[in-house]
Homo-oligomer: A and B are copies of this chain.
């Protein structure tokens, strides 16, 4: 099966930490980024997209500095 989901990583300094696997949808909303995986599970992420690299199945995110 040719599934083109991606993994979402959180960039922290010079490291990328895995945040959410097998992401299908990403929808920017007022509250943050709504991420939905291929099973329909959702997370809302308080931050922004730094980079998409789809051939590598990577979404790189950065937390909003106001958060945490």
- Contact assessment for B6 and A27 in the assembled complex, using a CB-CB cutoff below 8 Å: no
Residue total for A at the interface (Cβ-Cβ under 8 A):
22
Q: A4-41: contact bitstring with B at CB < 8 Å (1 yes, 0 no)?
A: 11100000000000000001111110000000001000
- The majority secondary structure among interface residues of chain A is strand
CA distance A55 to B57 in the complex (A): 11
Q: How far is the CA of A3 from the CA of B26 in the complex (A)?
A: 19
With A2-B2, A4-B4: A28-B48 Cβ-Cβ less than 8 Å = yes
B26, B48, B57: the one within 8 Å of A4 (CB): B57
User: Which residues of A does B touch, CB under 8 Å?
Assistant: 2-6, 23-28, 38, 48-55, 57, 59
